[in-house]
Chain A
Amino acid sequence: MAQHPTGHSHDAHGDSHESHGSLKSYVIGFVLSLVLTIIPLVAVLNDIVEGTAARVVLLVTAVLQFVVQLFFFMHLREEKKPRWNLMALILGLVIVLTIVIGSIWIMTYNAVA
């Protein structure tokens, strides 16, 4: 952990919140998001993929789009160390997945019609 013994060096103070995004990164992000929205629309609504394969396509494109937005819109990559925001996000996502998958698993045998 980089420690600033005096603790008062001003340059150390978090400009972590400055958004460093450029027009280019926003445009790339936007285009990628559009593509990742159109792919599942075309593939699933036209029945190019079906059943489990369709679900996989849907979820993969959704997750990819999430990642795109994190990187190109929310500038998660530019966070300074220590990366508290990233750590908090990962932990939060682990819990979200636990809630969703755990509920599905536990409720499998408890379903009501």
Chain B
Amino acid sequence: MANQGNHAVAGAHGHDHGHGGHHDLEALRQMGFWLFLITDCILFGTLFATYIVLHNNTAGGPTASELFEMPGVIAETFILLTSSFTSGLAVLCMNRGSRKGLIGWLIVTAILGASFIGLEVSEFIKMVDEGAKISTSAFLSGFFTLVGTHGLHVSVGLCWMVALMIQLGKRGITSVTKRKVNVISLYWHFLDVVWIFVFTIVYMMGVM
């Protein structure tokens, strides 16, 4: 255990350390964020458990294999996977010190994320038009809640990413903005992982 020093604002060791003083404060924040992701894992785990338990209860409404249209879902999957990769490229640019590259790749990531959300929303609208609503059956309640919660996470991530790009434009790459980029890319990878399981358990197992 490397002690992080004994400070209210952890890690600041006095004036002389200047900027470096923020260094391990940022490490603490990154650890806090990781723990938050663990709680988010459990949140999704609970939604998955509910979906799995209720997914056969269609109550006379449409079933998964009648409802899901795979081309759109496959497109969403590859888009999100690619955006996870591009958010990684953004971090690489940041570590090289290239602000332009960093913001550029973040923009690419955000555009991919937005198109993912666009596809998902149009998928939802189409389902509701066909009469498959959240109030139709337990299966659809579980489906909309699980997939919708993931979509909500992605949307929040998008807003956050825009806010971060503004901060990067204003302040450049500092220890604080660096931590923020690291954290959001972690968040983005995490959402991709959750999607893999949505894709597998909800869609693939639904249509097979």
Contact = CB atoms under 8 A, between A and B. Distances in A.
A66 B196 contact: yes
7 contacts: A13-B11, A26-B92, A37-B77, A58-B205, A62-B196, A66-B197, A100-B49
Given A4-B3, A65-B196, A103-B53, A30 B41 contact: no
B160 interface: no
Given A29-B85, A93-B41, A62 B208 contact: no
A13 to B, nearest CB: 4
B125 interface: no
Contact of B27 (A3, A16, A58, A65): A16
Nearest to A59: B200
B8 to A, nearest CB: 15
Interface in B186-208: 186, 189-190, 192-193, 196-197, 199-201, 204-205, 207-208
B174 interface: no
Decide if the interface of chain A is mainly helix, strand, loop or mixed.
Answer: helix
Decide if the interface of chain B is mainly helix, strand, loop or mixed.
Answer: helix
Interface residues of A, number: 62
A104 B49 contact: yes
B189 A8 contact: no
B84 A103 contact: no
B59 to A, nearest CB: 8
A104 B38 contact: no
Question: Which of B24, B49, B74 neighbours the largest number of chain A CB atoms within 10 Å of its CB?
Answer: B49
B175 to A, nearest CB: 10
Contacts of A82: 1
Contacts of A7: 3, 5-6
A107 B91 contact: no
A18 B89 CA distance: 14
A112 to B, nearest CB: 7
B200 A69 contact: no
A88 B30 contact: no
B91 A19 contact: yes
Nearest to B78: A37
Contact of A112 (B34, B46, B57, B201): B57
A85 to B, nearest CB: 5
Contacts of B89: 23, 26
A11 to B, nearest CB: 9
Nearest to B82: A30
